[in-house]
Structure 1
Amino acid sequence: MLSIQDRDANPGVEGAAAKDGRTPSLWDTYTRAGGMLDNSTGDVASDQYHKYKEDVKLMADTGLDSYRFSISWSRLIPNGRGPINPKGLAYYNNLIDELVKYGIKPHVTIYHLDLPQALEDEYGGWLGRKIVEDFTAFADACFREFGDRVSQWTTIVEPNVIAMASYDSGSFPPNRCSKPFGLLNCTVGDSTTEPYVAAHNLLLSHASVVSLYRTKYRAMQNGRIGLNVYSFWCYPLTNSTLDLQATQRSLDFLLGWIMSPLVFGDYPKIMKKIVRSRLPSFTKEQSEQVKGSFDFIGINHYSSVWVEDNSNASKTAPRDFNADLFAKFSFSKNGTPSGQLIPTDIPIDPVGLQHVLEYIRDAYGNPPVYIEENGYGLGTNDTIYDVERVNYLSGFIGSMLDGIRKGANVKGYFVWSFLDVFEFLAGFQSRFGLHYVDFKDENRRRQPKLSALWYSDFLKKKTKKKAGTDITRMGLHERSHSQQ
């Protein structure tokens, strides 16, 4: 049965970044050094740490049946390893208990981009093989402390984005890259090898955690565990053979990089052929552990890209991940190639989600899928009267349902995001929330947008017309957030 749900990410929603024993994560260090375009930080964010009871009541009133949030490694185990922080443990227990009280199912993400700075300083974080042991111990603590009430676990969010953005372009902390590839003037890194090393260690860490859960906890807790992957749908810019080949190559590099080891136990053949010795190899034991290490796949999806072959310009050494693709990406068919894999503005292409779901169905054996992020906010001047977001959500939910009708094994859908949050890409400059958060207000006042009322009606099966055709009945007047 399909369940409709919502989610937020810990680093952007929780706040209280230096309170009650929590230590800095990579993102705290990065933002406090002025890394964001608006010089913002997530130190307070949406302040759910203090307002979780209010937020859970708001979720119940909205009609959510599930809520997905992440555990801050730096709050639960402040040094990255060692004893649990009692106050951090109490917070997550209180949040989970509050959700359960209202009949809202917790769907927990163990890691959402916020590595403890202590582990980065000690051995390079995801570049060090010791991360497998430390991440497994962190997950063990989560299963032990919360697994009696949590039955849905996502180990890691977007390992493909972590590898690309943190170790190739350098746009995400720890901001590692090398010339001429990085988008930033990185002082350390090697864009030609580190993305592949990081992704390899992320996969090994995930597989280790799944093995632990299945052998130690699943029989008692009866839960499900999976991994999340960021997706674009890829269209060929033209119908030329080269563009068609580049498009398939892009899908292999973007999705197959993570999905192929999970399903088949190894990286895609085209990656092994192009990347060669720079691509780490799985031992036989590692391959067997990674293969099948999921009960479901989480997909984050917002938009599509158009792919043009770039093989003639990409044959010189050295190469990074982008150059290995032998392709250029545009975020519109007639647009300028972006030069990066994470857009700062997004076209609206609902059918792309259906294509992704059908591709996963056909290429990877139709595994159970949760759409764990989908939403509208980049590049928008958001208002309470957010008709664009209503139409976006209506279109993508419709596309998902079309995919289900075509046999895609979709189990659930999460909107990004329930509240406006501190966004990794843009701080407070873009808002994805169904509920407006006044970040200038010390109390972080929440206010429902039109999309929140539409979504609530949708969940409660009250929506009788397509989104955008009867929105004035909500009784809202258009007001700019800057005027609140």
Structure 2
Amino acid sequence: MAVLTALIFPFSVVVFAAVLTPRHASALTRQDFPERFVFGAGSSAYQVEGAAAEDGRRPSIWDTFTHQGYSFDGTTADVSADQYHHYKDDVKLMHKMGLDAYRFSIAWPRLIPDGRGKINPKGLEYYNNLIDELILHGIQPHVTIYHFDLPQVLQDEYGGLLSPRFMMCCSEDYTAYADACFQSFGDRVKHWVTVNEPNIEPIGGYDTGSNPPRRCSYPLGADCTGGNSSTEPYIVAHHLLLAHASAVSLYREKYKATQGGQMGITLLGWWHEPATNTVQDAAAAVRMNDFHIGWFMYPLVYGDYPPVMRSRVGDRLPSFTAQESEKVCESFDFVGFNHYLIMRVRSIGTGSSQNPVDYYGDAAVEYPSKDISKGEVETAPWSLGKLLEHLKLSYGNPPVWIHENGYADAAAGEAEYDGDDHDRAEFLQDYVEALYLSIRNGSDARGYFVWSFMDVFEYLFGYSMRFGLCGVDMNSQGRTRYERSSARWYSGFLHGGELRPIAQSQKSLVE
């Protein structure tokens, strides 16, 4: 999954999905959702495209990271599902499934390989062809401009997201890249995401050092390339927020009137709950939701960081100028959320040996080790409802797209290819129902995307864990696609079937 769910527990995922049955689930169909509600599935460029060194594409920081052997299972995404060569077949499969939309990202190193300057004709051709193919089949393209794959050349030149040049220069590089996307594809793309999960990329890359560019400080990580975990995550997040606002401002000034598209940003949406029934842990959960969600939502809605972050982080938290605050505030038409997990948090005292000066130390929380050490995570559909209610009450009920929600299971060799993933279908059913109830309760949710359309290289798990509705045989030269039970269920629901039953007798989607 695109979400960095194991920054604090780099182990396998064991999913516990609670069953929510507030009404007779089999009575619910997609027609019960608002008329223009969109159902889709997603991927991202680095994770699905392959063709890593073809047609002018140059390395991203994730290419460098995986080629240095730092991925979870030692693999790379050099080939992955090879959508670069199979996009036409994949779009046909999406059409048969009944998707309204496909969420994907544009690879900056493929479109503008040097980070700035000339557009790569082959990269431009690929994305034009993919978008045209989607539209030909009646599928909306929902495009993410930046999805973790910063060109390595910009990292080498001035330190990438961390450098002050990011705010003064790379923000211009990013905005020029966004401009190229709008100019090239905006006549057909009407839903743009500026940045994917900017509330977690700074943690993995600049606090724990578990992701590229592997920066951290003692005692939070080992084998880092330098860093300062007490300041760098906040600086990087600040730069990403300003870059987002710059792209939105550009679009509204230059393209909105003629292209008529919408701009947003997509955040990771963990929901935090107390680990125990103590007052301290209850306060920690509230505090952590402010740190995790409010880190970006508060400036987007109110023009500054949350008061709890201002008071706890102090002068290590960057400040907005009056002009920047005005530019950031309301710089969205929608907000996307990638929701997977409930995170149970325990309060810890400030200044203790357990509490290093970093993002989690500033929040004064820890995650109970009994689950982390086993690689277990908790999920339940009610957590999505709580997230949406929180957005409604705290941030003015913004238009929300659930851009990722999915279920992981372990890759199991040849036995996996029977496609029997009823647990995944049950998981998705429960979350779709929870989403419906939130809409009934007044949340302004506009769409739901399953992560992922098919198996991809997972940022945290490589190929050891699979999220796909459709499977991909990563050992075959042609990367053979095959259907799973969850794909048949989703197709049945999208074609008008009831939510609960899994239609096992439907025609195969993969011919």
Identity of aligned residues (%): 50
Tell me: CA distance 1:418–1:318, structure 2 relative to 1, closer, same or farther (3 Å).
closer
* Amino acid corresponding to residue 188 of structure 1 in structure 2: G
- How many positions carry a matched residue from both structures? 465
Residues 290/44 of structure 1: CA separation in 2 closer, same or farther (3 Å cut): same
Residue number in structure 1 paired with 2:255: 217
Supply the distance in 2 between the matched residues of 1:136 and 1:148 (Cα, whole angstroms).
18
Structure 2 counterparts to residues 75-474 of structure 1, below 5 A: 75-128=110-163, 129=167, 130-182=169-221, 184-311=222-349, 314=352, 319-330=357-368, 336=370, 338=372, 345-377=376-408, 384-463=419-498, 466-467=500-501, 470=502, 472-473=504-505
Matches of 1:419 and 1:379, distance apart in 2: 14
Contact 1:79 1:118 in 2 (8 A): yes
Q: Retained in 2: the 8 A contact 1:41–1:427?
A: yes
**TM-fit CA distance, 1:38:** 1.8
> CA shift at 1:5, angstroms?
1.1
- Report how far residue 83 of structure 1 moved: 0.4
Residue identity opposite 1:355 in structure 2:
K
Query: In the aligned structure 1, how far is the partner of 2:87 from the partner of 2:371?
Result: 42
From 56, 68, 83, the equivalent of 2:103 is: 68
Q: Which runs of no fewer than 5 residues in structure 2 stay unpaired?
A: 1-35
Q: Which amino acid aligns with 2:60?
A: S
8 Å CA contact 1:314–1:326 kept in 2: the answer is no
Question: C-alpha displacement at 1:318, in angstroms?
Answer: 5.6
Contact 2:97 2:491 in 1 (8 A): yes
In structure 2, the residue matched to 1:481 is none
Deviation, 1:47, is 0.5
Counterpart residue type for residue 500 of structure 2? K
Structure 1 runs (4+) deviating above 6 angstroms are none
Does the aligned pair in 1 maintain the 2:492–2:503 contact within 8 Å? no
Report the TM-score when normalising by structure 2.
0.88
TM-score by length of 1: 0.93
Gap regions ≥5 residues in structure 1: 477-484
Give the counterpart letter for 1:159 in structure 2: P
* 1:311 counterpart SS class: coil
Q: Which has the higher contact order (CA 8 A, sep 6+)?
A: 2
CA-based RMSD of the aligned residues comes to 1.8
Structure 1 position 131, deviation (Å): 2.0
* Structure 1 contact 314–324 (Cα < 8 Å) conserved: no
Is 2:349–2:355's contact at 8 Å kept on the other side of the alignment? Answer: no
CA contact (8 A) 1:328 1:337 kept: no
Say which is worse superposed, 304-313 or 102-111, in terms of deviation.
304-313
Give the distance between the partners of 1:84 and 1:472, measured in 2 at CA: 46
What CA distance in whole angstroms lies between the structure 1 residues aligned with 2:411 and 2:473?
17
Per-residue deviation at 1:366? 0.2
Q: CA deviation at 1:185?
A: 2.1
Q: Aligned partners of 1:431, 1:269: CA distance in 2, in Å?
A: 39
Alignment correspondent of 2:23: none
Relative to structure 1, is the Cα distance of residues 135 and 67 closer, same or farther in structure 2, using a 3 angstrom cutoff? same
Amino acid of the structure 1 residue aligned with 2:162: L
Residue 428 of structure 1: how far off its partner (Å):
0.6
- What is the aligned partner in structure 2 of residue 9 from structure 1? 44
